[in-house]
């Protein structure tokens, strides 16, 4: 790694950051209660929240799906290598923290192309002493570069978990499906694909309103049906494991989502709606709140 990514000149990183245009990773960071975002990102998040006041449940349950999937793959299947593409900004319970809690020598490679993420990559690289965590500065649309760089850390002769969590709805069909196939084709037998994706199947009116707020800001935003999400698995010859491709809050919801520590009421009252999201208990979710499919596939 990614060593060269982290050694980039800080001035060059600053030059790459466009704080005048919202970025998906930074908008996601807003919903997760992060601080590594700009007013334009907070405005995009606030507009999305205004369009769908319980839309933060999509983001938070998407993140909790990642926690549950990684936990299951480590504890039940003994998976010890992860390639997390489109990782976003560091937040509580990153993949390496979840995996290394059970398997201390687990290896994780994070991939993103946002310079703000890159500037904070050092926070992601705080691995346990026995494991290894690395960061690749690459675009999702450059799978060959991702694979070449990841191979410096991961052993491609052993199973790898590919995480594509809430990234594919930012990519058009003609690129999305071939890229996923190329990434999966490079993985050995026994590997897994962890995937989540926004859809209009479930609560179309809510998510279409959110879609408008993002496309107005120049984002590609593709809502796919269950069949179209399943196609990412079937076109790569993956067997979807139980319970299949399902609304994200139904994917093996064995454990309640963690509830954030609550501040004093007086403090909470002084926050705006988007700031209050980080303290919300997401266990009151209903089917009418969710617009995300999730699934895990197995490469035979």
pLDDT tens digits in sequence order for the chain, 300 residues long: 444 455 556 666 667 777 778 877 788 788 877 777 888 888 888 888 888 888 888 888 998 999 999 999 999 999 999 999 988 766 667 899 889 999 999 999 999 887 777 777 766 666 677 778 888 989 999 999 999 999 999 999 999 999 999 999 999 999 999 999 999 999 999 999 999 999 999 988 888 888 888 888 877 889 999 999 999 999 999 999 999 999 999 999 876 777 888 888 888 888 888 888 888 888 889 898 999 999 999 999
CA atoms of 236 and 41, how far apart (whole Å): 34
Do β-strands 292-299 and 192-198 pair in parallel, antiparallel, or remain unpaired? antiparallel
Closest CA to 65 of 284, 236, 282, 263: 282
**Quick one: tokens of 285?**
């979710």
Helix (H, G, I), strand (E, B) or coil at 229: helix
CA atoms of 173 and 187, how far apart (whole Å): 22
Do β-strands 292-299 and 238-240 pair in parallel, antiparallel, or remain unpaired? antiparallel
H or E element that contains 164: strand 161-165
Beta bridge pairs of residue 96? none
**Quick one: tokens of 168?**
């594919």
Do β-strands 161-165 and 132-137 pair in parallel, antiparallel, or remain unpaired? unpaired
**Model's pTM, two decimal places?**
0.86
The number of CA neighbours under 13 Å toward the Cβ of 60 is: 25
């Amino acid at each position: 790694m990614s060593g060269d990514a982290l050694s980039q000149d800080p001035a060059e990183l600053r030059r790459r950051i466009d704080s005048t245009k919202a970025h998906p990773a930074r908008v996601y960071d807003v919903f997760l209660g992060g601080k590594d975002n700009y007013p334009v990102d907070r405005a995009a998040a606030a507009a999305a929240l205004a369009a769908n006041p319980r839309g933060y449940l999509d983001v938070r349950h998407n993140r909790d799906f990642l926690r549950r999937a990684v936990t299951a793959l480590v504890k039940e299947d003994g998976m010890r290598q992860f390639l997390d593409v489109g990782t976003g900004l560091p937040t509580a319970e990153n993949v390496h923290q979840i995996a290394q809690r059970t398997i201390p020598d687990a290896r994780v490679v994070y991939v993103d192309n946002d310079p703000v993420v890159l500037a904070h990559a050092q926070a992601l690289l705080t691995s346990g002493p026995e494991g290894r965590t690395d960061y690749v500065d690459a675009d999702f649309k450059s799978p060959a570069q991702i694979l070449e760089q990841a191979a410096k850390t991961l052993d491609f002769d052993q199973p790898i978990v590919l995480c594509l969590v809430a990234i594919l709805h930012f990519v058009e069909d003609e690129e999305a499906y071939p890229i996923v196939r190329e990434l999966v084709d490079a993985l050995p037998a026994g590997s897994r694909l962890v995937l989540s994706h926004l859809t209009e199947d479930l609560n179309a009116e809510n998510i279409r309103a959110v879609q408008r707020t993002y496309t107005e800001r120049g984002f590609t935003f593709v809502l796919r049906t269950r069949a179209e999400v399943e196609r990412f698995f079937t076109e790569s010859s993956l067997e979807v494991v139980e319970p299949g491709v399902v609304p994200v809050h139904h994917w093996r919801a064995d454990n309640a989502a963690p509830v954030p520590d609550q501040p004093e009421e007086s403090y909470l009252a002084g926050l705006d709606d988007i700031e209050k999201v980080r303290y919300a208990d997401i266990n009151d979710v209903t089917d009418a709140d969710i617009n995300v499919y999730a699934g895990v596939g197995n490469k035979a």
